Structure 1
Amino acid sequence: MATGSTLPRRALGRQLRKLRERAELTQAAAARVAEVSPQSYGRMEDGRPTKVTDLALNALANTYEATDAERQLLLGLSREIREAGTSGSAWWRGYADDAIAKGFDHYLSLEESANWVTSWQTALVPGLLQTRNYRRALTWATFPDRSSDEVERILDVVVRRQGLLDRPGFRFEALLTEAVLGYSVGGPGVMTDQINHLLQRSEQAGVEIRIVPSTEGQPIGLNAGSFVLFSFPPLPTSKLQEPPVAYMEGLSGGLYVERTDEVEKFSNEAARIRHVALSASASRDLMLRYAKE
């Protein structure tokens, strides 16, 4: 499975940070060795897109007194980045800025690289499961001044993302409150179609939808708010395993959580939510009841 350049970039950044801290050097000093700006070097360690040359990596390896194995790992990850960059996997680059919110390209790259996504939603259907009309209603409510063409381009991105659900080996777990089914987004007709779409998707291999009923006495997950967890496969060449990432969306932008101890809190919360959620079969029965109503 192709993982794009996001995972090898993250892995390279983690390796560079480990070696730099072992050598007790600052990022500014490392940037001088690599002959790049401190900002560029910071992006390199953060795993964000920036130019990485083998010449710079060799210079850094020398300064960090890296072993042969450590040097080869850096160069191997650099090669994986280049190979992923030529595969054209970042399909969203073909869409205009008005179709993708600022910074959301990072979310898309994580989603594209993941092999397991867990989405806990307290109010809305997650994007990967939204119908076009449901998303259209949300988009008009969020951006009332956008033109019809701009809105349709946003919807095109949403539909394109949903191709992940048909990718072999990809697993999507949707954990939803019953309130998600009760909100009348776009009106009764739109919601009926949306719930029927959830029912169809819930029968698909690799897709699991479970509902936390409103009768549940323990308000687990409500204080945490909605969040998404990304888990990743090992890198194809180096076999390195990148740790999971958590994401929370806010009105002023998204928050990415990468520290192991903090991501573990989200993983534990997801486990607690699973414990109180209905089974997949009982969740389908509940969704069917809402669709009929």
Structure 2
Amino acid sequence: MAEAVTGGSGLRFEMDGEIATVTLNRPEKRNAQTFATWSALARIGEDLPEQVRVVVVRGEGPSFSSGLDLGMFAPEPEPPAQHPEPAQHRGTERVPGTDSFAAAAARGDAELRRLIAEAQRGFLWLRRPDIVSIAAVQGHAIGAGFQLALACDLRIVADDVMFCMKEPALGLVPDLTGTKPLVDIVGVPRAIEICLTARVVGAAEALRLGLAELAVPPDELGRAVRDLTAALLAVDREAATATKRLLQGAPQRTLEEQAAAERAEQAARIRSLFAGS
């Protein structure tokens, strides 16, 4: 098994054949997330080895993720007094408040939107048709944690899970690509109620609403994810990729358009399997 620790981001990346595991690795902070977390997550997606078919996203410790690191809400500190320094050290220091909302707001609207887009890239790649992403969720999955789980194709949860879209209660909006899958799964009225009350959704309700595919006791979560992963890997890779593309596009197509998409995908599969045989 290959392993890489992304320093300062709170993420750990591991490879085992066709399976990649991304672990939120700040258990002492309940795996709270920062701009550094999202940037590292985006880099993992960019550099994901071609052989990977299943990506598991999990949290170290009793919580999946408590959401935004509270340090991001700190005011921008006063700049330190200027002192001459050797030329070889100039430009190497971290900009004060880089990971705070105050620092982000000071950059102006265009730069702020660019920063949010960069954060969103860390979530968008989990929907790629050539992989299946599984969120293994236990304990708190708050705000950014809930959105990271929603970014994955499938969610296996422990029966102590606590989903909560906290951002509106903090004066923010959910902006890490979580609003569309939430609406797609539960519908607009229920999504409004969940987000604007910032209430907790437990395992039983998550199953009922379709926010989770399976709920198990916490000590069985790892086994449940391994069983699902094995079942996914048993299917032909190219057929799985084509089928996921069809399913992802279905909500935006008419029946006739979906039928045409099915014809195109199936013709490509038949040519690949039988042409020249």
TM bucket normalised to smaller = under 0.3
Q: Give the structure with the higher percent helix.
A: 1
TM-score relative to the length of structure 1: 0.27
TM-score relative to the length of structure 2: 0.28
Name the structure, 1 or 2, with higher relative contact order (CA <8 Å, separation 6+): 1
